[in-house]
Amino acid sequence: MAGHSQFKNIMHRKGKQDAVRAKLFSKLAREITVAARHGLPDPAMNARLRLAIQNARAQSMPKDNIERAIKKASGNEAEAYETIRYEGYGPGGVALIVEALTDNRNRTAGAVRSYFSKFGGNLGETNSVSFMFDRVGEIAYGAEAGTADQVLEAAIEAGAEDATSDPSAHVVTCAFDELGDVAARLEERLGSPQSVKSVWRPRVTAPLDEEGAQSLMKLLAVIEDDDDVQNVYTNFEVSDDVMARLTAA
């Protein structure tokens, strides 16, 4: 079993849902504000803002929160955030990409470096691991969206590259620069998605044993808890047995 979403599901189940939701909304609002500030406040004329709003809606973020985040971009109270990507290696040589929006580069860099060091990782230079990933768009739906064949057909018609399904979810992937358009076409056909986002998809995976997986989960948890961190991507791979034990722990 490979991917980062399984680890996020574990952490979310263990955490207090209200706290997890509040932190998620805060990070979504920050992305909306930054997108609106770096372009027009109209999503029809601002692709980054349109995507940020699509993702916020997919996470059931209230309309008032979205509108407040957009308005904040034009006010004096809006912080001057910048987008920064950190790359490095975690336990067992797993590659990590950390995306942040910060108003203090030194603070965030120091914090991320300390997380890597504490859990046996090493922070590298920009592009030190990203060459092992592809930047793609990802749109997720629950199982209720339709059968695997129905979702695949809708994905192809929407201009997506692929769709994969399991008993609990469907994941549609597309070219990074076509994410907004593909998501809009899919929504017309399948309804509101669970998430709409750009992701770093690993080309190769790094296998981990149970001890390494536990260390990685701790590292991911502390990185994602940082208010400046928006997303974390890894290329780990663990067996189904190890994942089952981690889930039950």
CB contact at 8 A, 123 and 130: no
pLDDT at 1: 44
Most confident of 52-56, 129-133, 180-184: 129-133
Q: What is the overall mean pLDDT for the chain?
A: 87
Q: What residue ranges do the domains of the chain occupy?
A: 5-73
CB contact at 8 A, 90 and 234: yes
pLDDT at 178: 93
Please, what is the Cα angle at 83 between 77 and 89, to 5 degrees? 140
pLDDT at 99: 95
Instruction: Quick: pLDDT tens for 43-52.
Output: 888 888 988 9
Indicate the SS3 state at residue 40.
coil
The residue ranking higher by pLDDT, 235 or 2, is 235
The alpha carbon of 231 is separated from its chain's Cα centroid by a whole number of angstroms, namely: 5
The average pLDDT across 152-159 equals 96
What number of residues does the chain have? 249
* Dist CA 136 CA 101 (whole Å): 20
pLDDT at 156: 96
pLDDT at 101: 92
Q: How many separate helices (H) and strands (E) can be counted in the chain?
A: 9, 10
Q: To which CATH superfamily is domain 5-73 assigned? A: Integrase, N-terminal zinc-binding domain (1.10.10.200)
Instruction: Quick: pLDDT tens for 108-148.
Output: 999 999 999 999 899 999 899 999 999 999 999 999 999 99
pTM beyond 0.85: no
* Dist CA 187 CA 98 (whole Å): 29
pLDDT band for position 12 (cuts 50, 70, 90): very low
CA quadruple 78, 104, 134, 153: dihedral sign: negative
